[in-house]
Amino acid sequence: MRTKVYRARVPLVGMEWTRGVVDRMPRVGGARDRARDAINKHVVVLLVGEEDDERKGSAAAAAAATATATATGKKDDEGEGDRVVCFDFLPVEPTRPETVVRMVLNLPTRGETRERQFRRGRKARDCWDLEGEAPNTHEANLARAREFSDTYCTSISLLGNNCETYAEGLVRHLLERTVAHGTADGNT
């Protein structure tokens, strides 16, 4: 299975609590949608796919599946779902007052890329925009995303290099049809 690449807007770090407030707003006159647009300013990239067959067949994966089955009473293929990995770019200390002031004044500050794994079985939300399917295996796409993130410029500013430019570059990188030293399917 190929990797589905999504882009999503979420609340800024430190503002996650606003999601619950907005979700309780009445749906009258589009107020909830306008409020959601106002708070969802952080852009993330989500990679959704199954683990590669060779990884599933490894001893470590088998041991993990056994442990999961023992703990949950389910086999690995019983509704566990796809693997979801989120990549994003943000200031190192996003809630620190000095960082906020530097960002508001559009001054560069130190940023970092992050990779977070969500629990298996997480389904795509309606706020996730499908950008396309990456042409490689899921593990190869994760490696490409990590490579992009490791070499990305980590100087962040509000109107320059920010979470949107990072997400745009990562999505474009993942959806490229050719891979160095091979074809789109990873074969040489």
Domain boundaries, the chain: 3-175
Regions of the chain where pLDDT drops below 70 = 1, 51-81, 120-124, 178-188
Q: Looking at residue 180, what DSSP letter applies? A: T
**Per-residue pLDDT tens over the stretch 41-62:** 899 999 999 765 544 444 444 4
Please give the Cα distance from 29 to 34 (Å, whole number).
9
Predicted local confidence at residue 35, as pLDDT: 82
Predicted local confidence at residue 144, as pLDDT: 96
Predicted local confidence at residue 70, as pLDDT: 37
Predicted local confidence at residue 147, as pLDDT: 97
**Per-residue pLDDT tens over the stretch 72-89:** 344 443 335 688 999 999
Please answer whether residues 2 and 135 qualify as being in contact, where contact means their C-beta atoms are separated by less than 8 angstroms. yes
Helix (H) or strand (E) holding 171: helix 163-175
Predicted local confidence at residue 180, as pLDDT: 52
Sheet holding 128-134, edge to edge: 128-134, 3-11, 40-49, 83-91, 109-118, 155-156
